């Protein structure tokens, strides 16, 4: 039983989520280092496009300004020149045991001159509706001319619940819950959510008690319901008979007298508690508009975890950024038991965190032990200074600021100094540790799965050389390649080991809004999807996977691993990338593998490459036209694939060093199997399989990432 401490835990995690500087979306080439914690003399030391300037407009640095001067009220300034500061905000203080604490004080909100605030050492955090992370920033070329990013418009539309994944208008009333894909809702979207949820709280005591009584809700497939009911009925009869024989008053007494029955008693009690919990889940999902409101969720059968319920739970998990499979597991049940206002507050914190991380140009998040957790540290400071201590405070904030104000809102906060190793050009490098690696085929000749246990999972670490030593800034779970289905030249599918290359590499190119050019070995079935077009369901080219877009194989951003060319030769590209992924659960799964690429949680991939671009010398090459076309046949229909651009290119100069470690080779097979392996459940023509390709497809996806 979780008890009533959830809200306090949520508050603690919330007060640790922001950090700040100016809008990432309005920098030019050679982005300046962050102002976070910089003294006034340093604050204006760099040039670039500041908020309010058009791309390519030079920004003249302003001299030092006193804090008193910077904080003078300037409500007369236009939105592009002002920022909101909160003076005197005090977070709530816990009292001594048995005594009341100190309530929060919201402080005084004041519009001030944004440029003066920066000159006085404040960091500007862009909370406007058209904010994007740095990878989709409005950039300029060496001649000062704009270099538009074609995906920026779609990113902003998705964040504001205006566009769908194809860039088409979102149907009225539809919502984009895309945090797990790296796209956080705008503050205008969150404001509407707060105000609506205040009117429809979706919570009652009976449901709250039912959810508090369970940690999880057991999944029973609809086809197995009768079998499961018979099993539980037999178990109840067995326990009742044992209770009578033992002269026990209750089943708990039976478990105490005869511990051999304890596990069975616990199971019966758990399953009994799950029934009212399931009812509470259905009620909550229906109230939130996630169950019974669409064609895919309208045929739910009460009390059964059917496909409609699974889809509704997945939408709930995406709304609240829960990395869990689509079942009623601990994190999901915990979120369902919390009030809408508390969940909305957590969503606000998550959205603000990304804005602050971008504004402060930081990365360190506590995933390594040798450096400060700047993400949590700056988050706490920003939340306290803005007076956003909890859900009611956030709701009051949104009531004070209408949607028109939020369209252009920036806030000014005073952040602690960043570490001394920060600089515009940092000596950064990446190490990928492949962890435990299995080369053996994961099934026997009868098709039975053979477990391949891993104790050490793959990781990606970003290092900075500081005083001659490598300091780990951040370390995250990632993926490596494994056994995947692959279409051979004879048109049949086989299994093929798609490994992750080892040894030194570099990242010379970083691409935002990348596309994946499916190699000929990609199963044709994955290149087609069903879609409702003009009221008719039909097959269309699956651009979701090809990109650009959050559902693509590469997610929203990718760094290309290559072996540098020697003696005037071109780089060798075997198709391996480190990138985001639409298959976000695979990154934390015990059985999660890629086709050779290194997947990262989408928001962390965005943070990583935004950080690298802002702390290494680079050139903005901009949009890369390609005009790729391909025709293919699927189920007697010819489809034509058209990809006009490869994505938006940043060139690292010099490139970022990468080293991929071999890892621990498990099992008896110590070298990768290079041949196709027939799938035991498939039938093939006579003779051996065709020869497998020896390298990746250099035109795009290559040997990996067709995920």
DSSP structural state of residue 410: E
**Binning pLDDT at 50, 70 and 90, where does residue 189 land?**
very high
DSSP structural state of residue 693: P
Element at 403 (helix H, strand E): helix 403-406
Three-state SS annotation for 240-252: HHHHHHCCCCCHH
What is the greatest pairwise CA distance in the chain? 91
Q: Is 467 left (phi over 0), alpha (psi -120 to 50) or beta?
A: left
Query: Looking at the chain, how many residues does it have?
Result: 707
Of 338, 237, 308, 311, nearest to 4 (Cα)? 338
Q: What would the pLDDT profile of 510-564 be if each residue is shown by its tens digit? A: 999 999 888 877 888 889 988 877 778 888 888 888 889 999 989 999 999 999 9
Q: What angle do CA 147, 150, 155 make, to 5 degrees?
A: 120
What pLDDT, on the 0 to 100 scale, is given for residue 507?
98
> In whole numbers, what is the pLDDT of the chain averaged over residues?
88
Report the range of poorest mean pLDDT among 102-116, 191-205, 317-331. Answer: 102-116
Please say whether the beta carbons of 292 and 270 come within 8 A. Answer: no
HSE-CB for 404 with a 13 A CA cutoff:
1
Q: What is the dihedral of CA 669, 671, 673, 679, to 10 degrees?
A: 30
pTM of the model: 0.88
Higher pLDDT, 125 or 568: 125
**pLDDT above 80 (res 56):** no
Which of 516-531 are b and which e, b meaning 16 or more Cβ less than 10 Å from the residue's Cβ? bbbbebbebebbbeee
């Amino acid at each position: 039983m979780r008890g009533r401490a959830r809200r306090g835990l949520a508050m603690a995690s919330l007060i640790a989520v922001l950090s700040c500087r100016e809008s990432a979306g309005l920098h030019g080439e050679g982005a300046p280092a962050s102002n976070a914690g910089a003294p006034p003399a340093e604050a204006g030391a760099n040039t670039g496009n500041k908020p309010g300037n058009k791309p390519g407009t030079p920004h003249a640095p302003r001299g030092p300004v006193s804090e008193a001067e910077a904080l003078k009220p300037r409500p007369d300034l236009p939105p592009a020149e002002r920022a909101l500061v909160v003076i005197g905000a005090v977070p709530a203080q816990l009292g001594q045991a048995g005594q009341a604490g100190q309530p929060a004080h919201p402080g005084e909100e004041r519009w001030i001159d944004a440029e003066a605030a920066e000159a006085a050492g404040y960091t500007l955090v862009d909370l406007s509706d058209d904010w994007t992370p740095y990878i989709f920033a409005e950039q300029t070329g060496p001649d000062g001319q704009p270099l538009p990013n074609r995906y920026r418009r779609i990113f902003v539309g998705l964040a504001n619940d205006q566009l769908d994944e194809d860039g088409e208008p979102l149907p009225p009333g539809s919502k984009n819950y895309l945090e797990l894909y790296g796209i956080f809702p705008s503050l205008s979207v969150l404001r509407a959510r707060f105000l609506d949820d205040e009117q429809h709280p979706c919570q009652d005591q009976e449901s709250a008690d039912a959810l508090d009584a369970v940690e999880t809700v057991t999944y029973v497939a609809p086809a197995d319901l009768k079998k499961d009911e018979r099993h539980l009925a037999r178990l109840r009869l067995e326990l009742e008979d044992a209770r009578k024989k033992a002269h026990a008053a209750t089943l708990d007494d039976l478990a105490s007298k005869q511990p051999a029955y304890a596990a069975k008693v616990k199971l019966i009690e758990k399953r009994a508690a799950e029934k009212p919990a399931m009812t509470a889940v259905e009620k909550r999902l229906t109230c939130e508009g996630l169950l019974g409101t669409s064609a895919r969720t309208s045929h739910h059968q009460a009390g059964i975890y059917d496909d409609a319920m699974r889809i509704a739970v997945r939408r709930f998990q995406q709304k609240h950024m829960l990395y869990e499979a689509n079942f009623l597991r601990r994190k999901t049940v915990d979120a369902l038991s919390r009030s809408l206002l508390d969940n909305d507050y957590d969503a606000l914190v998550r959205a603000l965190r990304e804005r602050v991380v971008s504004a402060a140009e930081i990365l360190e998040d506590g995933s390594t032990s040798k450096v400060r957790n700047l993400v949590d540290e700056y988050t706490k400071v920003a939340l306290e200074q803005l007076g956003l201590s909890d859900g009611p405070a956030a709701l009051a904030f949104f009531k004070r600021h209408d949607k028109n104000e939020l369209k252009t809102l920036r806030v000014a906060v005073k952040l602690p100094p960043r570490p001394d190793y920060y600089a515009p050009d940092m000596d950064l490098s990446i190490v990928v540790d492949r962890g435990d690696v299995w080369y053996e085929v994961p099934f026997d000749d009868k098709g039975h799965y053979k477990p391949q246990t891993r104790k050490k999972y793959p990781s990606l670490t970003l290092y900075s050389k500081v005083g001659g030593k490598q300091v780990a800034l951040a370390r995250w779970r990632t993926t490596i390649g494994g056994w995947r289905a692959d279409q051979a030249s004879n048109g049949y599918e086989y299994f093929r080991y798609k490994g992750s290359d080892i040894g030194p590499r570099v990242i010379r190119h970083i691409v935002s809004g990348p596309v994946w050019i499916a190699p000929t070995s990609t199963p044709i079935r994955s290149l087609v999807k069903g879609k409702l077009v003009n009221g008719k369901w039909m097959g269309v080219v699956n651009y979701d996977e090809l990109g650009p877009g959050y559902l693509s194989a590469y997610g929203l951003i990718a760094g290309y691993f290559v072996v540098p060319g020697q003696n005037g030769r071109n780089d060798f590209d075997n198709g391996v990338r480190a990138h985001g992924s639409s298959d976000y659960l695979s990154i934390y799964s015990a059985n999660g593998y890629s086709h050779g690429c290194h997947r990262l949680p989408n928001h962390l991939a965005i943070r990583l490459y935004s950080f690298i671009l802002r702390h290494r010398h680079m050139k903005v090459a901009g949009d890369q036209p390609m005009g790729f076309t391909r025709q293919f046949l699927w189920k007697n229909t010819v489809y034509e694939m058209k990809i006009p651009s490869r994505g938006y290119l940043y060139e690292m100069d010099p490139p970022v060093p990468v080293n991929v470690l071999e890892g621990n080779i498990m099992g008896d097979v110590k070298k990768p199997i290079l041949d196709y392996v027939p799938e035991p459940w498939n039938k093939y023509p006579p003779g051996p399989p065709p020869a497998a390709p020896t390298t990746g497809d250099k035109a795009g996806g290559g040997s990996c990432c067709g995920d």
